[in-house]
Chain A
Amino acid sequence: MAKLRKKIYLTAGYNTISFGSGRKEFNPKKPRPGLEEYIQEAGRGVIAQINNPENIDEGIISNFMAARFNKQGNLAALIPTIHPSLEYKPHTRVEGACGSGGLALLTSLKSIASELSDVVLTIGVEVQNTVKAIYGADILAGAGHYLTERKNGHAYFFPAKFSDRAGVCYDKFGYDYMRKGMALWYKQAIENARKNPKAQEYHNSIEDLYAAGMTPPNPKAFVDHLNIYDCSKVSDGASALIFASEEGLKKIGVGKKDAIEVVGFGTAVADLTKAPEDMTVMSTTKRAVEKAYKMAGLGPKDIGILEVHDCFTVGGLLALEAAGFAKYGEGSAFVQAGKTNLKSELPTNPGGGLVGFGHYVGGTGVRQAVDCVHQLTGKAGDYQVKLNPNKPYALMISMGGNDKTVTAMIFKKAE
């Protein structure tokens, strides 16, 4: 499909707190909300912003590994717990590892585009703090290829995957050059998160963030080329929003001023069993973004807000290159030049991103879209970006696994 044949809107976004270590109220020994509570909080947070919730035609829920983190499958059947009118509606659960949220957006969009639904409730959730990080690493390793990668993989499987990418980047572009960009990425992520009361790093009180980000990696205790500040944390949380057609917006009584619309999207999925051809390139991300640009008839110069999947700082830098903002090898320089901060040409991850806001894995893609709704409708509070009128578009990239399952979407404020 070259162009969308009808307008597709997103509205009524809601994020729960991204809960886990770093939040003052987090205590691993105390009881915490579970899957249902998060699904309900996010779903009801959406419903509170619309009228006539009985007009929701269906629900799409994304999640990665509740079957292992929470011993719970069949998540679509938890959607009716949000509101009585959701009982017996056709709900679906989707999964694409850390890119699950992106697939929830895609699936919701398809449903509206196909005219099977006018109003879709889209939810993403993950509750990971049920196990210690060392066992969580086993579970998250499922985003890689178990048969060929797990046995020889690292105890901290996914950090090691991106550590390997970082190591190749160090060899090619220089350790100091890369490390500075990664440390600045961390600093900016935390500074943004400190403006976002729902961010996991909202309470972060490290004085010298750059110095923390510059900490040399410690391969004995962790992975070879990343320090702990390079990594997003273990998070619990959920996000939700509404996908609607023009008709759908009317049915739920939402005006266009509170909505954004999709101008382009692209999903690309690569072969899970194959290692990346070039560790310094996020080739699947590149393809997904190119598809979205093509459909929208836009390019990097038109993007005024960027939401990227920075599960690791180095991933953030590589995404800048894959999405065409920086040339190959220049992602670090781009960040060092201050081109991604809140007041720059390309405010990136204004709510903190995965490093600052947190990363409830299967919900993150939905969280990114919620942040785009908030930013483009002026509801982002203290982390609101002042949008350049010449660049009125937001681009979000949801990535699953080691650059395997990627969805990119471009939005603008609804007209």
Chain B
Amino acid sequence: MNFDERMQNAAVIGAAGKMGSGIALLLAQEMARLKNLPENKDKDYRLYLIDIHPDHLAGLLQYLKTQLVKAGEKACVMLRQMYKDREDLIENQDCINQYVEDSLSVIRTGTDLSAVKDSKVIFEAVLENKDLKVNLLKKIDSFCGKDTLYLTNTSSIPITILNKESNLGGRLIGFHFYNPPAVQRLAELISTDATIQELKDFSLELAKRLNKKIVPSNDIAGFIGNGHFLRDGLYALREAKKLANDYTLPGALYIMNKISQDLLIRPMGIFQLIDYVGVDVFQSISETSAHYIKGEDLTDDLLKRMYDKKVLGGQRSDGSQKDGFLKYDKNRPVGVYNLDNGEYKLFDPKGWTGDIDKKLGDYPSGFSPWKNLLMDPKKGDKLSVFFRNLKASNTLGAELALAYLKNSKEIGQKLVKTGVAKTTEDVNNVLLNGFYHIYGPINDYI
């Protein structure tokens, strides 16, 4: 069965979740494109979107519609080409409307797993829980054909374990999209010794069709992306606890978040990123990794306390950020959580956060925030100058930032050394494409 035939009947399990909905969007678009090829005119295309929450499925359709309109607006040059033989579609608006309709028309939503019985390719994107995933995969495989291929979006559970416990005989691969799947260009591909060739080929073709950059990762819990992110976050938590003596815990969290964004020139501070991913998701990555990787402490009591208090971050269905380590107003951090009293301490540039900023010191010359450098063709040179000045600076901020950078680099190097990543370049590629960093952790700046 070739790629296009397989894509005639696909399914996403956990489709109303953050990752599932993004994967559904990408698949619907590709299926609409296939459906519009002259040779496929009489073929039927089906994308089953299954989720256990019926109420979330309505929201999913609304999300897909909104995103398809946006995608259509962006791809209108291509759409006019795609619909060039449709005489009734004249204006951009006509083509975009048709595109949304074509994409939505392949979709069937539901809560009943058995709907996917004829699907030839199944994407699993349920909660990051091994037993749940295994039970689902086993159940689906009990009524699907034995030629059905499975792609799991797990971000940390070893594929070998999932494949073995679900008895899939190598018909399972790790295809780890980044959040949000429709935007992030990266996908980590995790195959195992058992993975059948057809599935590897399918996955590479899929990446090509969806315009994703593939980085292969070895089958070690957390893979490359979360392997780095988890340790980077744990480092920030541990540093915060040290700083808490002098600055209180909220102050320390504020400091680590601020320097990791500003002085590391990243798109978000580390705690904002954990909130974005979800404190619960981060905690589950931590637990899963700790379970499979021995000889390294990959848990943190502060993280656990946040999780137990149900201060979880994540996003609402409209995409707005929920409060977690930080409090948000219009998706911008405005305060930091105080574990002692369960309240948020609001930032106050004229008060306590202003005092901390003074202690962190002035930023070295050459500083420019991430968003200004992102598209700058001379960003390499500008980063060199900035990091040189950072090293020459003797402020508290610079000291913390340099230690942070050094640690981030060591994490990256360790991922190569322990065989998670094949090369330094793979590590850097994951951080560049999956986390939108403008330089890789393994660099010569530090």
Chain B residues with CB under 8 A of A146: 90
Q: Is the CB of A141 within 8 A of B77?
A: no
B92 contacts which of A138, A221, A222 (Cβ < 8 Å)? A138
A146 to B76, CA, bound (A): 18
Q: Quick check: A154 and B91 within 8 Å, CB to CB?
A: no
Question: With A132-B73, A134-B73, A220-B77 in contact, is A151–B90 under 8 Å at CB?
Answer: yes
The reply to whether the CB of B340 lies closer than 8 angstroms to some CB of chain A is no
Tell me whether A154 and B73 are in contact in the complex, defined as CB-CB below 8 angstroms, given that A135-B92, A138-B93 are known contacts.
Answer: no
B87 at interface by CB-CB < 8 Å = yes
In the bound complex, CA of A138 to CA of B84 (Å): 16
Interface centre among B87, B92, B96 (most CB of A within 10 A): B92
Q: Closest chain B residue to A135 by CB distance?
A: B93
Contacts of A152 in B (CB 8 A): 84
Q: Does A168 contact B (CB under 8 A)?
A: no
Question: Does B80 sit at the interface, judged by CB under 8 A?
Answer: yes
Which residues of A (125-180) have their CB < 8 Å from a CB of B? 132, 134-135, 137-138, 141, 146, 150-152, 154-156
Encode contact with A along B351-392: 1 for CB under 8 Å, 0 otherwise.
000000000000000000000000000000000000000000
Query: Which B residues are CB-close (under 8 A) to A220?
Result: 77
Q: Which residue of B lies closest to A146 (CB)?
A: B90
Is there contact, CB below 8 Å, between A137 and B92?
Answer: yes
* Most chain A beta carbons < 10 A, residue from B76, B77, B84: B77
Does A134 contact B87, Cβ atoms closer than 8 Å?
no
Distance A137 CA – B95 CA, assembled complex (angstroms): 13
Q: Chain B, interface size: which category?
A: 10 to 19
Task: Tell me if B91 and A141 are in contact (CB < 8 A).
Answer: yes
In the complex, the chain A residue whose C-beta lies closest to that of B86 is A151
- Distance in angstroms between the alpha carbons of A135 and B90 in the assembled complex: 12
Cβ-defined contact, B93 with A155, below 8 A: no
Please name the residue on chain A nearest to B80 by beta carbon.
A155
Residue contact B76 to A134, C-beta cutoff 8 Å: yes
Chain B, residue nearest A136 (CB): B92
Considering the chains assembled together, what is the distance between the CA atoms of A13 and B393 in angstroms? 56
Task: List A residues 272-288 near B (Cβ within 8 Å).
Answer: none
Number of A-B contacts (CB under 8 A): 29
Encoded as 1 (CB less than 8 Å from any A CB) or 0, chain B from 70 to 111 comes to 000100110110001001001111001000000000000000
Q: How large is the interface on A (under 10, 10 to 19, 20 to 34, 35 or more residues)?
A: 10 to 19
Asked if residues B76 and A155 are in contact (CB atoms below 8 Å), the reply is: yes
Please, how many angstroms separate the alpha-carbon atoms of A358 and B60 in the complex? 40
How many Å from the CB of A183 to the closest CB on chain B?
16
Question: How many whole Å from A38's CB to the nearest CB in chain B?
Answer: 25
Q: Which residue of B lies closest to A141 (CB)?
A: B91
- What's the least CB distance linking A343 to chain B, in Å? 31
Q: Hey, which chain B residues are within 8 Å of A150, CB to CB?
A: 90-91
> Known: A132-B73, A134-B73. Contact between A154 and B93, CB under 8 A?
no
B172 nearest CB across to chain A (Å) = 35
Residues of chain A lying within 8 A (CB to CB) of residue B84: 152
Nearest-neighbour CB distance to chain A for B227, whole angstroms, equals 34
CA–CA, A146 to B77, complex, Å? 18
State whether B87 touches A154 (Cβ < 8 A).
no
Residues of B within 8 A of A137 (CB): 92
Say yes or no: B90 contacts A155, CB within 8 Å. no
Bound CA–CA A138/B80 (angstroms): 12
CA distance A164 to B90 in the complex (A): 20
**For A222, what are the chain B residues with a Cβ–Cβ distance below 8 Å?**
77
Neighbouring A residues of B80 by C-beta, 8 Å:
154-155
Neighbouring B residues of A155 by C-beta, 8 Å? 76-77, 79-80, 92
Please, how many angstroms separate the alpha-carbon atoms of A151 and B94 in the complex?
Answer: 11
The answer to whether B92 touches A134, judged by C-beta atoms less than 8 angstroms apart, is yes
What's the minimum C-beta distance from B341 to chain A, rounded to whole angstroms? 36
Interface centre among A138, A150, A154 (most CB of B within 10 A): A138
Query: Complex Cα distance A279/B79, Å?
Result: 27
* Nearest CB in chain B to that of A138: its residue: B91
Q: Which residues of A contact B87 (CB under 8 A)?
A: 151
Output the least CB separation between B295 and chain A (Å): 49
Residue of B nearest to A221 (CB): B77
Expressed in whole angstroms, the minimum distance between the Cβ of B287 and any Cβ of chain A is 40
Which A residues are CB-close (under 8 A) to B96? 134
Give the docked Cα–Cα distance between A132 and B93 (Å): 11
Give the contacts of A84-142 with B (CB-CB under 8 A): 132, 134-135, 137-138, 141
Taking CB atoms, residues of chain B closer than 8 Å to A221 are: 77
Alpha-carbon gap, A220 to B80, bound state (A): 12
Residues of A within 8 A of B79 (CB): 155
In chain B, positions 14-32 with a C-beta closer than 8 Å to chain A are none
Which B residues are in CB contact (< 8 Å) with A138?
91-93
Residues of A within 8 A of B76 (CB): 134, 155
Give CA–CA (A155, B93) in the complex, Å.
10
A residues less than 8 Å from B93 (CB atoms): 135, 138
Shortest Cβ gap from B88 to chain A (Å): 10
The contact string, 1 if C-beta is below 8 Å from chain B, for chain A 191-227, is 0000000000000000000000000000011100000
Q: Give, as a whole number of angstroms, the nearest-CB distance from A214 to chain B.
A: 13
The distance from the CB of A252 to the nearest CB of chain B, in whole angstroms, is 45
Q: How far is the CA of A146 from the CA of B94 in the complex (A)?
A: 14
A196–B265 CA distance with the chains assembled, in angstroms: 35
Once bound together, how far apart are the Cα atoms of A132 and B69, in whole Å? 12
Of all chain A residues, which has the CB nearest B74? A134
Assembly CA distance A155 to B80 (angstroms): 7
Contact with A along B385-425 (1 / 0, CB 8 A): 00000000000000000000000000000000000000000
Distance between A335 CB and nearest chain B CB, rounded to angstroms: 26
- Distance between Cα atoms of A341 and B96 in the complex (Å): 43
Q: How far is the CB of A193 from chain B (nearest CB, A)?
A: 22
> In the bound complex, what is the Cα–Cα distance between A151 and B81 (angstroms)?
10
Query: Which residue among A135, A150, A220, A222 has the maximum number of chain B CB atoms within 10 Å of its CB?
Result: A135
The docked-state distance in angstroms from the alpha carbon of A134 to that of B90 is 13
Whether A154 and B77, one on each chain, are in contact in the complex, defined by CB atoms closer than 8 angstroms, is: yes
Q: Which residues of B contact A135 (CB under 8 A)?
A: 92-93
Q: Of B79, B87, B96, which is in contact with the most chain A CB atoms at under 10 Å from its CB? A: B96
Which residues on A sit within 8 Å (CB–CB) of B90? 146, 150-151
Give Cα distance in the complex from A331 to B76, angstroms: 33
**A135 vs B76: C-alpha distance when bound (angstroms):** 10
- What's the minimum C-beta distance from B46 to chain A, rounded to whole angstroms? 30
Binding site for B on A (CB under 8 A): 132, 134-135, 137-138, 141, 146, 150-152, 154-156, 220-222
| 12 CB-based A-B contacts, threshold 8 Å | A132-B73, A134-B76, A137-B92, A138-B91, A138-B93, A150-B90, A151-B90, A152-B84, A154-B77, A155-B77, A155-B79, A220-B77
Additional 12 contacts, C-beta under 8 A, given A138-B93, A151-B90, A155-B92? A132-B73, A135-B93, A137-B92, A141-B91, A146-B90, A152-B84, A154-B77, A155-B76, A155-B77, A155-B80, A220-B77, A221-B77
Interface residues of B (CB under 8 A from A): 73, 76-77, 79-80, 84, 87, 90-93, 96
**6 closest A-B pairs (Cβ-Cβ)?**
A155-B76, A138-B91, A155-B77, A134-B73, A138-B92, A151-B90
